[in-house]
Amino acid sequence: MSTLEPAHSISLLVANKPGVLVRISLVFSRRGYNIDSLVVSPTLDDDFSRMNIVARGNPDTLVQIIRQLEKLVDVIQAKDHTGESIVERELALFKVKATSDSRTEILQIANHFKAITLDMTESSMVIQVNGASEKIDAIKIMLTRFGIIEFIRTGKVIMARGEDKT
């Protein structure tokens, strides 16, 4: 897929049963759609889970994927939220090389991005940042010059604004 294809934010309400994730990922795979991020979380009702999927690809193919997902027994609702007013957030952890000379500057960058320090040793720091994808991309660029040892990023969690259900 071209990296120029738009990213789509999709939410699914599914039965909380074994094998559901596999069946859903197969629908994307069969259509040649790559999943960029996937978050599965519980809902207020233990019988259901919420899946947030970000994928890139042809919008017409996505319409077909959503129709196919809605036909699966364990899918209660499937919706593409692209272009809608939604709240999106991600969380990332950065383990960065930190010498005594660079530590202050790294802390200033973390402070600017409203990140928090979770761990600090003589030679490294673990920084947590949450927010929009662009914010995480920006702090990653800023921390790269210090040497990122390890980087872990969640997928996007999304929620419809207002009283509308996701």
Contact 155, 89 (CB under 8 A): no
pTM of full prediction above 0.85 = no
| Predicted local confidence at residue 165, as pLDDT | 79
Contact 123, 100 (CB under 8 A): no
pLDDT digits (tens, 9 = 90+) for 112-125: 999 999 999 999 99
Please identify which residue in the block is written with the tokens 């939604």. 86
pLDDT tier, 163 (very low <50, low <70, confident <90, very high otherwise)? confident
Mean pLDDT value of segment 92-99: 97
Domains and CATH numbers, the chain: 7-84 (3.30.70.260), 87-158 (3.30.70.1150)
Mean of the per-residue pLDDT values of the chain: 91
| Predicted local confidence at residue 3, as pLDDT | 52
Contact 96, 127 (CB under 8 A): yes
What is the rounded CA–CA span in Å between residue 111 and residue 114?
5
